[in-house]
Structure 1
Amino acid sequence: MRKGEVAQFLISPEYSYGEMGCPPRIPAKATMLFEIEMLQYIDHKAADDFADFSKEEKQAAPFEQILAVINAEREAGNDFFSRKMISKAMSKYGRAIGLLENINLHSEQEEHIWKQALLKLYLNISLCCIKQTKSVRALMYCRKILDMEPNNVKALYRLGQAHNQLGEFDKARSYLVQASKVAPSNRDIVTELRRLDDHVKQYKNAERETCRRMFGNQPALPVAKTQSKPMYTREMFEDVTARLQAFIESPIRELPFPMKGMDDAEQQCIEHVCDELRLQYDYIGEDVQQVLKVSKSTR
């Protein structure tokens, strides 16, 4: 079938619902008529064939063949991303990046094509990292982009987003301002600067609340009890661990996590990682202004 084509398929009972059928809609031993439209497809044959190659065959593969594999993996990643299957998209992008980063180039033309393909993949996977708040990994890919193209506005913008997620507000503002100078009319950059201002405001409000409670002899806010069985996934635990380890190595002393939009699993995960890394955490503020503040004070 071609893209946009509509076809009818007549399927006998042994290839559909068999003797039992699926009552009440599908009777027993029913022959099924399906009408199918080809909306989109991805030609993954090049990648599938390449996966079956031996190590020697992969090393000897010409640039054009490897490029076809790269394009197939990227298109598959784009498809997963469009369906919000971010982890699978990252896997496809990562596989393509691994091939490109280890390829041997033989001409300036190949180098130009290689650079453009790698830039697209770095941008795609950095966006996935931002979506999953894998901020440290996002920083790594964005810096690779800037090594190749110092004024890449998307890389500057995502560096600002990643530092904002990590609570590194000064660095976030620096990169976002750089991005706005390159693309002054970009609405996403303006929106992220406003979001950054909101985070800074929340952080300052949380600091004031801390001081008020310290010197006003106010009782501490109760900490929500968590279940004994972890609610979070291993992937979430690894991501939070990476973020807090990066925080430990950074010069900043406190890292706020706004409670607005945070679910119970994320809250429990942050608490448990703090316990393992011997970080202090506290709940500051009230209602939508409440912040889970992590600090480097030993517990």
Structure 2
Amino acid sequence: MDRISSTDKSPADIPDYNLREPDIPAWAALLYQLQLLDVREKPDPLTLPVADRIRIGNQKRERGNFNFQREEYSMAVRAYSMALDVLITCGRDGGEKVEEEEEEVRDYRVKCLNNLATAQLKLERYDEALHTSRDVLTLEPNNVKSLFRLGKLQSDMGEYEEAMEVLKRALKLEPATKAIHVELSKLVKRQSGGRDIQGWKPKPAELLGENITPFLIPSKKKESGTSWKCILCALVVALSSLVTSLILTARN
């Protein structure tokens, strides 16, 4: 008779753990008890090293970006505001290295402020977005995104002179940006009383000058229509000459 070792067990002898009932059913209500072990005050950002300020600030800024992509704009505003509470500059002289680190903090702060202004616009908090855009320009006067946003907001609020000056600055920095040209054209139309002038457009060079009254030029459609008329007249004259020549040749 063959011997059966202790390791040779039939499937019937092996317990089926998959059939075991769970200790906690899926529909059971759970009650957790938490115990607070310690409370620590929020550290002063000025006491934190620059690297820690940047790390913590960027974590909160990225959280705001995540909320913004999910269209959770209120939560994005809150996250950006928390990031700005950390991304602050000390404003003291401490050598070239410290100045470079503080400049890095300012760069991240500018990014966060721009993101905050965009989220505020989504929530239609126009006054807050206007204030945030000005904060960006305090740190970085030639920030084109903020200049464009500020000029557009001022134009929508009826502050036409201020909007024109801001948009002119943006256009000088980025003359090829179409969005700035479009917004300037809208502003010129508003200044003219909202009259829609068909076939006319302001010259960019005039918008950059001191006098921002639109220097209008006719559209290309009108010029092309006149040129087609000239071509048709020339064709009629040529055909008339050809017919006359054929008649004279036939008589001879």
State the TM-score, normalized to the length of structure 1. Answer: 0.46
Aligned length: 161
Select 1:166's aligned residue among 157, 170, 181.
157
Contact 1:159 1:172 in 2 (8 A): yes
Select 1:73's aligned residue among 52, 60, 77.
60
Query: Aligned residues: percent identity?
Result: 29
Structure 2: where are the runs of 5+ without partners? 1-20, 29-38, 196-252
Distance of 2:42 and 2:77 partners within structure 1: 24
Distance of 2:175 and 2:25 partners within structure 1: 57
Partner of 1:83: 70
What amino acid sits opposite 2:84 in the alignment?
A: I
Partner of 1:100: 87
State the TM-score, normalized to the length of structure 2. Answer: 0.54
- In the TM superposition, what is the alpha-carbon distance from 1:88 to its structure 2 partner? 1.3
Contact 1:153 1:182 in 2 (8 A): yes
What amino acid sits opposite 1:161 in the alignment?
A: K
Partner of 1:54: 41
What amino acid sits opposite 1:96 in the alignment?
A: A
Distance of 1:55 and 1:18 partners within structure 2: 40
- In the TM superposition, what is the alpha-carbon distance from 1:56 to its structure 2 partner? 5.0
- In the TM superposition, what is the alpha-carbon distance from 1:163 to its structure 2 partner? 0.6
What amino acid sits opposite 2:81 in the alignment?
A: G
Q: 1:53 to 1:104 in 2, by over 3 A?
A: farther
- In the TM superposition, what is the alpha-carbon distance from 1:190 to its structure 2 partner? 2.4
Distance of 1:13 and 1:103 partners within structure 2: 58
Q: 1:137 to 1:56 in 2, by over 3 A?
A: closer
Structure 1: where are the runs of 5+ without partners? 1-11, 20-51, 206-299
- In the TM superposition, what is the alpha-carbon distance from 1:162 to its structure 2 partner? 1.5
Q: 1:178 to 1:102 in 2, by over 3 A?
A: closer
What amino acid sits opposite 1:127 in the alignment?
A: T
1:193 aligns to 2:184 (yes or no): yes
In terms of fraction of residues, the more strand-rich structure is 1
Contact 1:135 1:166 in 2 (8 A): no
Partner of 2:225: none
